[in-house]
Amino acid sequence: MSFADREGWIWLDGRLVPWGQAHLHVLSHALHYASSVFEGERAYGGVIFELTEHSRRLHRSAARLGFDLPWSVDEIDAACREVVEANGHRDAYLRPIAWRGAADMGVSARSEANVHLAVATWPWGAYFGEESAARGVRLELARWRRPAPDTAPTDAKASGLYMIATLAKNEAEANGFDDALMLDWRGQVAETTGANIFFVQDGALHTPPPQCFLDGITRRTVIELARNRGLAVHEGAIWPDELESFDEMFLTGTAVEVMPVAEAGSWKFEIGPVARQLRADYLDLVNGRGAVPKSRAA
């Protein structure tokens, strides 16, 4: 059975429809000109982690692309919960996506009356496989770079920004790697194709500032968890020739959660105690077993 032919329900424009009947028109503006935005979320034990923050970011991303969503944050939250319940999922991945439909054909998109929203959900385990946390993932150095913030809406989770991510990840997998490490337009370390990056040096965290990529919700959560443990977190430019000075490297994101890295290009890293601890802390938090970070406890 193909992914498009799965069983289940998708929330589409205000109602649940069978999975295989959630269609869009072939002349949708989003299909031709990438006028779409989306979110990636996870439910743990039936509870969607940081649901409202994801719905707020979906609204911000849509506005960044010049269209308004006709559903409020609360309504999007409710749609996400409805589709998780309708599919009977406890642990699952969610994909809310909003796009311009087939009102106009051309680069410009003047009609605001043809915006659509869908939410799909399905069971999805470890992004890189269950064994990856123990061995660490392997990253190829991508030939594609993240664009400058004055060349693309890099602060939006916009579908068009993932074209080069797909190219980079496909090439990395074809060469035997798990993913790709992407530099930015200046040649500084940026992120992978779908996750933020952290390094560990002498027990302190180092991470590039989100100047041309998303300041991920998981990224911010892990920074809070690290500070809860008294770890220093430094945000600043990281050049590739600095990577040999770091002890550990790990990724963060809704899909990858917290994932250690064994190698990135020619650089090797240990699967060390900081990444292991923060991964454990994160999984405890999202599964309701851990302490809430101090900044969220109020």
d(CA 183, CA 189): 4
Q: Is 142 helix (H, G, I), strand (E, B) or coil?
A: coil
Q: How far is CA 9 from CA 6, 89, 115, 121, in A?
A: 9, 11, 20, 8
Q: Is 280 helix (H, G, I), strand (E, B) or coil?
A: helix
CA 289 to centroid of chain Cα atoms = 23
Which amino acid would we find at residue 172?
A: A
d(CA 35, CA 259): 31
d(CA 273, CA 216): 23
Q: Is 169 known to be catalytic?
A: no
Residue 11 · residue 119 · CB < 8 Å: yes
| Helix (H) or strand (E) segment spanning residue 140 | strand 137-141
If we measure between CA atoms, which residue out of 298, 127, 279 comes closest to residue 290? 279
- Which of 157, 169, 268, 294 is catalytic? The answer is 157
Give the other-Cβ count within 10 Å of 263's Cβ: 17
Q: Which single residue is written with the structure tokens 């080069």?
A: 164
Tokens representing residue 21 in the block: 């009947």
Which sequence positions are flagged as catalytic?
Answer: 157
